[in-house]
Structure 1
Amino acid sequence: MAAAHGDLRHLLPGNYKRLISEWLEEDCPSMDYGGFVVGESDGEARLLGKSNGIVAGVPFFDEVFSQLGCTTEWHVKEGDTLSPVQHCATVRGPIRKILLGERVALNILARCSGIASKSASMLAALRAQGWQGILAGTRKTTPGFRIVEKYGILVGGADPHRHDLSSMTMLKDNHVWACANNRAAADGGVKDVSSIASIAAAIPRAVQAAKATGGFSTKVEVECRSVEEANAAIGAGADVIMLDNFTPEGVREAARQLKQEWAGKGRAFLIEVSGGLTEENAPAYTCPDVDILSTSSIHQGTGIVDFSLKVSLR
């Protein structure tokens, strides 16, 4: 688990607390009628883990109740594996406030823990093949909830990949074609570049433009659908080559060719494989020449880890 290298909460930006405030406001934008019935009695609630999985999302859970004037005492550590039914934490404070934060806190914890659990499970399947590369997520995250999803990936031991469009320049086929079309139009040519040039011929210009604006500190990744496109990207100075939607056999052959072709030529690059990877089929794509497997299946549409809060008066 990534948390073995330190407390992951120290990675979080300060604005995550603002997000928690917004989520609490979303859940109670007006009157808390149920809370009025409860009154102001103090008490505590036990957080119970009700399904198998990995605990993740502790800082977000804590912040929900902190903003409501409650305290949380954890009896498990983030990254621990649960076996149901397990007493994970105790929340103390006004019962009304505990109930006010209950659903928001549980939703975050359940989703984040589900992502961590899926990430850890898929990583274990890849390690069982003897592969020591990087399992990464993607940018296919939920708007407004990305920080939680990326955090869950980290707790599960995987790589979050780029966090936003500013983290790295990724040139997909649309970027390359648009760049080439703009150039063709400027030269007075036809606007449909596909009729006059292959995408491989258009890649170097796109890479050069990205490097000119991103500077030395911003890596450039290029999505490639063939060895020809990959060679063009490497020759232009791309840092990461993404082999997209290849077959397992195609990946192994293309990765081998590329590593052999550029060995000793002063071009350092990583090979990433993406496109429809799941825990079931990803092991077939592992080989020594592949550095990264990226997939949205570890964070998009994953299950949850089931938790509940059970209140008792002091």
Structure 2
Amino acid sequence: MAKHAALLPTTFARTIENWLVEDIPSFDYGGYVVGDDEKEATLYCKSPGILAGVPFFNEVFRQTGCTVFWSFEEGAEIIPQSGRVAVAQVHGPARRILMGERLALNILARCSGIASRARRLRSIADQKAFAGVIAGTRKTTPGFRLVEKYGMEVGGADTHRMDLSTMVMLKDNHVWATGSITNAVMRARSAAGFSIKIEVECQSEEEALEAIAAGADIVMLDNFTPEDMAVCATSLKAHCLSNHRQVLIEASGGITEETAANFMSPAIDIISFGAMTQGVPHVDFSLKIYP
């Protein structure tokens, strides 16, 4: 079993079941054509990337009555030679292989694409000797978040908050609705208690200082230039040190794979990327049954 699979909730099998129901709401006409003769299908990878999504792929075919045998471990870098490389075999009745084919490929392609971008971002950080966290965001596809967050994990990135119940993140709308950063943090702390961290999105050093004074655990510097980000983060760290405060500084806002290295200042603890899930290229997989 893939080592990251232990993170998954037991309910993910029900999610797969619902996706199969969505894909076959009534008759399976193509399945009728091919019948139930036992077949072997080969899973090919046709573009370079990190293999991720193995537990989901396996569960699709478990539910359709098939068995999967892998030639690569999850998290491995796949580099196709001569156009493609065989990464797994699927055994079962032809009808049932094809029943799960498209769902399994869709999951694997996107999950692997996200893992690949996460791995590249982590590699950039390592090359820059950046000791901070590389994280995704909650900019995920509705209904598909578990797969996308799982891809981040396999690729070596932090998943950031999983949902609205995981951590309090106070953005501009929260601040405007309550009148000030201080009011927003105080109200959040009254509901969240001591066990949940509070993060505040800030557009300036003044806002960040207010957030720190109000008791924020994390300050997000949003949409700064790399130069301004480094100066502000350094100043905030000095302020926290002199006031015996431990506050994490996060950089965010339009940071991409191409610009990431510019934001890797020693004063930054976290860099978060909406681009880890948005516009990410998929890894190309196909499944072929041969006579």
Q: TM-score range by the shorter chain?
A: over 0.9
Q: Which runs of 5+ in 1 are unaligned?
A: 181-201
1:213 aligns with one of 191, 202, 212: 191
Amino acid at match of 1:72: V
Q: Secondary structure at the match of 2:200?
A: strand
Verify the 8 A CA contact 1:237 1:267 in the aligned structure 2.
Answer: no
Task: Report deviation, 1:310.
Answer: 1.1
Given the alignment of the two structures, is residue 96 of structure 1 paired with residue 74 of structure 2, yes or no?
A: no
Given the alignment of the two structures, is residue 66 of structure 1 paired with residue 65 of structure 2, yes or no?
A: no
Q: Report the count of equivalent residues.
A: 288
For residues 92-131 of structure 1, the C-alpha deviation after alignment (integer angstroms, 9 at most, x for no partner) is 1111000110000000000100000011112212221121
For residues 199-240 of structure 1, the C-alpha deviation after alignment (integer angstroms, 9 at most, x for no partner) is xxx111211111111011100000001111101111111000
Partners of 2:116 and 2:142 in 1: how far apart?
21
Verify the 8 A CA contact 1:57 1:108 in the aligned structure 2.
Answer: yes
Verify the 8 A CA contact 1:271 1:292 in the aligned structure 2.
Answer: yes
Task: Report deviation, 1:86.
Answer: 1.4
Task: Report deviation, 1:279.
Answer: 0.9
Given the alignment of the two structures, is residue 246 of structure 1 paired with residue 224 of structure 2, yes or no?
A: yes
Matches within 5 A, 1:73-222: 73-84=69-80, 85-180=84-179, 202-222=180-200
Q: Which residue of 1 aligns with 2:249?
A: 271
Amino acid at match of 2:178: C
For residues 26-83 of structure 1, the C-alpha deviation after alignment (integer angstroms, 9 at most, x for no partner) is 1111111111111110111111111100100000000000001111111100000111
Q: Which residue of 2 aligns with 1:282?
A: 260
Q: Secondary structure at the match of 1:108?
A: helix
For residues 128-147 of structure 1, the C-alpha deviation after alignment (integer angstroms, 9 at most, x for no partner) is 11211111001010000000
Given the alignment of the two structures, is residue 47 of structure 1 paired with residue 46 of structure 2, yes or no?
A: no
Q: Secondary structure at the match of 2:105?
A: helix
Q: Which runs of 5+ in 2 are unaligned?
A: none
Q: What is the TM-score with the length of structure 1 in the denominator?
A: 0.90
Identity of aligned residues (%): 55
Aligned-residue Cα RMSD (Å) equals 1.2
Task: Report deviation, 1:7.
Answer: 1.1
For residues 263-285 of structure 1, the C-alpha deviation after alignment (integer angstroms, 9 at most, x for no partner) is 14231110000000001111111
Partners of 2:260 and 2:68 in 1: how far apart?
39
Q: Which has the larger radius of gyration?
A: 1
Q: Secondary structure at the match of 1:252?
A: helix
Partners of 1:165 and 1:262 in 2: how far apart?
27
Partners of 2:139 and 2:277 in 1: how far apart?
8
Q: What is the TM-score with the length of structure 2 in the denominator?
A: 0.97
